[in-house]
Structure 1
Amino acid sequence: MELAPGLHRIGTDIVAIHLVVTDEGMTLIDTGLPGHYGDLKKELATLGRPLSDIKGIVLTHGDSDHTGFAERLRAELGIPVYVGAGDAARAMGEKPPSPPKDPRRLGPMLGFFAYAISKGGVRMPAVKEVVPVDDGEVLALPGAPVIIGMPGHSPGSVAIHVPAVRAVFVGDELTTRSVLTGETGPQPAPFTDDQAASSASLERLAGLDVDFVVPGHGPVWTQGAPALVAAYREAEKRR
Structure 2
Amino acid sequence: MKLDQHLHRIGNDIVAAYLVVTGDGVTVIDAGLAGHWRDLLAELATLGLTPADVRGLILTHGDTDHIGFAERLRREHGVPVHVHSADAARARGEVKVKNAWGHARFGATAGFVWYAARKGGLRTTYLTEVSEVADGDVLDLPGAPRIMGLPGHSPGSIAVHVAEADALFVGDGLTTRHVLTGQRGPRPAPFTDDQEQALASLDRLAQVQATWVLPGHGTPWNQGVQEAVRQVRAAAQLH
- Normalising by structure 1, what TM-score? 0.98
Cα distance in 1 between the residues matched to 2:101 and 2:117: 22
Counterpart of 1:39, as a letter, is D
* C-alpha spacing 1:97/1:50, structure 2 compared with 1 (3 Å): closer
Within-5 A mapping of 1:57-206: 57-206=57-206
Q: Distance in 1 between matches of 2:115 and 2:194?
A: 26
The change in CA–CA distance for 1:52 and 1:146 in structure 2 (over 3 A counts) is same
Alpha-carbon offset, residue 50 of structure 1: 1.4
- Bigger CA drift: 219-228 or 51-60? 219-228
Deviation at 1:96, TM superposition (A): 3.8
- 1:204 corresponds to which letter in structure 2? R
Tell me the secondary structure at the aligned position of residue 116 of structure 1. helix
Q: Which AA in structure 2 matches 1:55?
A: R
Q: In structure 2, what residue type is equivalent to 1:67?
A: I
2: CA distance, partners of 1:181 / 1:159:
24
- The one-letter code sitting in structure 1 at the alignment partner of 2:208 is L
Structure 1 residue 26: Cα displacement: 0.5
Task: Give 1:95 deviation, angstroms.
Answer: 3.3
**In 2, distance between residues paired with 1:174 and 1:94?**
25
Give the Cα separation in 1 of the matches to 2:92 and 2:27: 20
Mapped partners of 1:162, 1:12: distance in 2:
21
Q: How many angstroms does 1:225 deviate by?
A: 1.0
Q: Which amino acid aligns with 2:173?
A: E
Cα deviation 1:88-139 (Å, max 9, x = unaligned): 0000012343112411000000000000011011100000000110000000
Whichever residue aligns with residue 202 of structure 2, its letter is L
Distance (whole Å) between structure 1 residues aligned to residue 223 and residue 194 of structure 2: 27
1:182 partner letter: G
**Cα deviation digits, residues 47-86 of structure 1 (max 9, x gap):** 1011100000000000010000100011111100000110
Write the distance in 2 (CA, Å) between the matches of 1:3 and 1:31.
18
Q: 1:28 and 1:125 mapped to 2: Cα distance?
A: 18
Are positions 1:214 and 2:197 aligned together? no
In structure 2, C-alpha distance between the alignment counterparts of 1:51 and 1:178, rounded to whole Å: 31
Gaps of 5+ in 1: none
Aligned to 1:236: 236
Q: Secondary structure at the match of 1:199?
A: helix
The SS at the match of 2:9 is: strand
One-letter identity of the residue aligned with 1:74:
R
Q: Percent of pairs identical after alignment? A: 56
Moved over 6 A (4+): none
CA distance in 2: counterparts of 1:99 and 1:73, whole angstroms: 27
Q: Which amino acid aligns with 1:160?
A: V
- The 2-side partners of 1:67 and 1:204 are apart by 24
Range with greater deviation from structure 2 (144-153 or 229-238): 229-238
> What stretches of structure 2 of length at least 5 have no aligned partner?
none
